[in-house]
Amino acid sequence: MKLRRPIISVLAFLICVISFAQQTDYEVDYNNPRKLIVGGVTVDGDLATVSPQQIIQLTGLSKGMEVTVPGDEINSIVDRLWAQNYFEDVALLVDSLSSNRDSVYLKVYLKERPRVSEWTFSGVKTSEKKDLQERLNLKRGGSYSEYVDQVSRDIIRRYYSEKGFLNASVNTEVKKDSIVKNAVRVNFAVEKGEKVRVKDINFIGNDDVSEYKLAKSMKKTKSSKWYNFFHSKKFNEKEYPNDKNGLISAMNEAGFRDARIVKDSIYYIEPKKLGIDLYLDQGQRYYFRDITWTGNSVYSAEQLNSILNISKGDVYDIVTMEKRLYGGGKESDYDISKLYRDNGYLFFNITPVELNIQGDSIDVELRITEGKPATINNVVINGNDLTNEKVVRRQIYTRPGYLFTQTQFERSVREIASLGQFDPEAIMDPNKGYSIVPNPLNNTVDVVYNVTEKPSSQLELSGGWGGRTFVATVGVSFNNFSTQRMFEKGAWRPVPLGDAQNLAFRFQTNGTYYTALTASFVEPWLFGKKPTSLSLSLYYTRQTNSYLAWNILNNDRQMEVFGFAGGIGTRLKWPDDYFVLYNGLSWQTYKLTNWYSGSFIFDDGISHNLSYSLNLSRNSTDQQIYPRQGSEFVASLQLTPPYSLLRKNAESINYDAQTAQQRYKWVEYHKWKLSGTVYAKLIGDLVLMSRAQFGYLGYYNRKLGYSPFEGFLLGGDGMSGYSTYGSEVIALRGYENYSLTPYVPSAYNSQGYAYAGNVYDKFTVELRYPVILQPQSTIFALLFLEGGNAWADIRDFRPFQIKRSAGVGVRVFLPMIGLLGVDWGWGFDDSKYGKSQFHFVIGQQF
């Protein structure tokens, strides 16, 4: 276009000259241009979107001004009109001369480009149409030209090429609009053809590096070998140059410093299969000889060498050396750059220089510029349209006036990601989630966090099957509630939000048989200054013998539970500030009337459960929904007063002769639980989750025995269908609900038996891979191996005598609903309750 416009301008000017020559006897002398006075300017042509006055203004011509004919000024006017991209034909004509031949009357002739009234696509899917519209950014009313057509078709072809449709073709169908004047309808007809996949990749000229390592270095270009089973085999022309660079890096990592790709060839093996031949010149393998440091004053050469971890005689691995200098390796790896940046040396720089090459040995000098420590000047938080800024600021460790440290900055990003109020993927994206703005002039740095709000409140409408009954649940959880704004005008939309408090209500029922009400409130930062949490909860549960499935409609048998719990959690500074210590106090009253469910040891009576709980936890995961790294460990103790040991004549009491109401009026126990979970990122977003759990319900007095409440029910999906608050339900997929829990004789139960899971252990390994990671939804698939068991007595505990299972599943997290899960599991070790089992769960994570 840059070349065409001057040519067109010259042609237009020639037209002017020809027109002038035809209408007058004036002859143009190019060697002696003539100055003329503009007598007037008119506009001719079929104009629909611009007026003649606008055109005249664009030319810059006005009556009385002087122009030179021929001259550059005439050419520039034509260029200016072409630059508007509105016209497909432009001409500046001499209409006439005045009688005394000193004034010229000019005419501007224009032909508008047609406007596009509608852009359409054929031969594409609905989702592809949306992607293409975003890439093309074509709007109704825009002008249509050959340039627009060519660029649009190229973009469409590249789009399908990235998807593996290398032979996709695009034809443009242009039809005149019969309704809109000077308008056309444009349709891009796409023929995708067959998807083309890579079958073979041949590395020719490589003798020392394994083919697998070279293939692994090409991240997006994969052959059909077995080790690429989970990778896409499509050929992406855009990513192919990057993969060739990765191939060279793999050769460099093996010590082949001068390795290069001599040539490469891409060809069809068969119509839908590609072959790629890469001809390599690997060159000589080199080794490190002497490594020296210059410019280092903060750390000694010995300290730096301990992190660099390269010795004389090691293979000259440039890639690993750069990772240990600048980072980019595993998250747990330490590097020289991070060492300095953790102590404020943000302006630190290091340059490796090859001093001497002799034979196959290389001397390297590492030149350091330390600079001065950087102090944080401003901490800026953008994007928190709903959540109060204080909620974010109290989570971060980078504060104005503090010395900048890389570790604390990374910790701050993880803390924001794990808050639950913001999109964790967005804040952890280095391209848009955060920025570090250094100012070398005054040795300061500004830190910017760009958060993206996401819906965090949840509405639960669910149904679950368990305990041989269907239970409906309605619940609402406001996870960003604000008590401070309760009296603020306009804040109730529908509730005041912004302070990251949690207010939740939940109602469960299946009609007259079961009813449960729960209300809870959590303040994560009590008094707003220290990371001390306050939690409060109230609940009520009732079960009766009214059972619609059996056409029983009465309530002469029932169990009621009233309860309250409160606790304070404090973040510790030792051993590190990932630890949280929680102290809680709870009270429960159980009222059983002629009850026969078999879930408890007795059928009639009232029991009180007053307990104190101590919970020590450490959570260093990078986010809540789909953690990729970090760990979570929990150790808890829940205990009641030892009533049986405090009674008079405790040794002489015969508990077997007491009624249930006498024996369990005040429940006593001590309950110990341990849980450890580790997340490890394997490749990309593929995550391995490993978890181990243990629980033990103990007693103070052997004569009194185990508590009838607070035991463990092992097996199934982890949902009881209803919650009695008397037992803790532990999932173990591949088996029926509670089927792995001991069911033992009981003298205080009308059925003669009751569940007695007083000890359990469980081991889980999950391989997780995300399908969608977006603020609107998170979806990931998983494979699991699981094993566990429960025992009635600690003396029978055998930690590795477990019931095993394996299976697959999927999790879907929707902000308004919570976590949805479906699993298929196969139980290996119980022919009656194991084998194939499907587990469907709403609002609960395994």
Tens-place pLDDT, residues 488-541? 888 888 899 999 999 999 998 877 778 899 999 999 998 777 789 999 999 998
pLDDT of 36 = 83
Q: Is the pLDDT of residue 579 over 90?
A: yes
Average pLDDT over residues 283-290: 95
- Torsion from C-alpha of 486, 490, 494, 497, nearest 10 degrees: -50
Average pLDDT over residues 104-113: 82
Q: How confident is the model at residue 92 (pLDDT cuts 50, 70, 90)?
A: confident
pLDDT of 343 = 93
Percent of the chain with pLDDT over 70: 90
pLDDT of 469 = 63
DSSP 542-581: EEES-BGGGTB---SSEEEEEEEEEEEEEE--SS-TTEEE
In 87-145, alpha helices (H): 126-136
pLDDT of 20 = 42
The token pair at 800 is 């590795």
Average pLDDT over residues 331-336: 80
Q: How confident is the model at residue 4 (pLDDT cuts 50, 70, 90)?
A: very low
Helix (H) or strand (E) holding 289: strand 287-294
Q: How far apart are CA 468 and CA 542, in angstroms?
A: 17
Mean pLDDT of the chain: 86
Q: Which amino acid is at 528?
A: G
Q: Is the pLDDT of residue 6 over 60?
A: no
Q: Is the pLDDT of residue 570 over 50?
A: yes
| Radius of gyration of the chain, Cα coordinates, nearest whole angstrom | 38
Q: Is the pLDDT of residue 94 over 50?
A: yes
Q: Is the pLDDT of residue 818 over 80?
A: no
Q: What are the residues whose beta carbons fall under 8 Å from the beta carbon of 2, sequence distance 6 or more?
A: none
Average pLDDT over residues 427-439: 92
Q: Is the pLDDT of residue 168 over 70?
A: yes
Which range (132-141, 258-267, 349-358, 785-794) has the least confidence?
132-141
pTM of the model: 0.68
Which range (442-456, 485-499, 666-680) has the least confidence?
485-499
**Total Cβ atoms within 10 A of residue 231:** 18
pLDDT of 608 = 92
Strands 727-730 and 605-619 turn out to be unpaired
Give, rounded to a whole angstrom, the gap between the first and last alpha carbons of the chain.
Answer: 62
pLDDT of 596 = 65
pLDDT of 28 = 54
Q: Is the pLDDT of residue 13 over 50?
A: no
Average pLDDT over residues 258-272: 93
Average pLDDT over residues 580-601: 81
Q: How confident is the model at residue 598 (pLDDT cuts 50, 70, 90)?
A: low
Helix (H) or strand (E) holding 806: strand 803-814
Q: How far apart are CA 763 and CA 105, in angstroms?
A: 94
Among residues 597, 598, 845, the alpha carbon closest in space to that of 733 is found at 845
pLDDT of 116 = 87
Q: How confident is the model at residue 720 (pLDDT cuts 50, 70, 90)?
A: low
Q: How far apart are CA 501 and CA 483, in angstroms?
A: 8
Q: Is the pLDDT of residue 707 over 80?
A: yes
List of E strands, 700-802: 711-714, 727-730, 743-745, 753-755, 759-773, 778-791
Q: Which residue has the higher pLDDT, 725 or 406?
A: 406
pLDDT in tens, 456-482: 888 877 666 555 567 788 889 999 999
Q: Is the pLDDT of residue 22 over 60?
A: no
Average pLDDT over residues 716-728: 66
Q: Is the pLDDT of residue 817 over 80?
A: no
pLDDT of 846 = 43
pLDDT of 587 = 94
pLDDT of 448 = 97
**Total Cβ atoms within 10 A of residue 698:** 14
Percent of the chain with pLDDT over 90: 53
pLDDT of 61 = 84
pLDDT of 73 = 79
Q: Which residue has the higher pLDDT, 43 or 263?
A: 263
Backbone dihedral angles phi then psi of residue 228, each to the nearest 5 degrees: -105, 25
pLDDT of 786 = 96
Q: Is the pLDDT of residue 24 over 50?
A: no
Q: Is the pLDDT of residue 154 over 70?
A: yes
pLDDT in tens, 724-774: 546 889 999 999 988 999 988 877 666 677 788 999 999 999 999 999 888
Q: How confident is the model at residue 100 (pLDDT cuts 50, 70, 90)?
A: confident
Q: Is the pLDDT of residue 252 over 90?
A: yes
Q: Which residue has the higher pLDDT, 125 or 462?
A: 125
pLDDT of 624 = 84
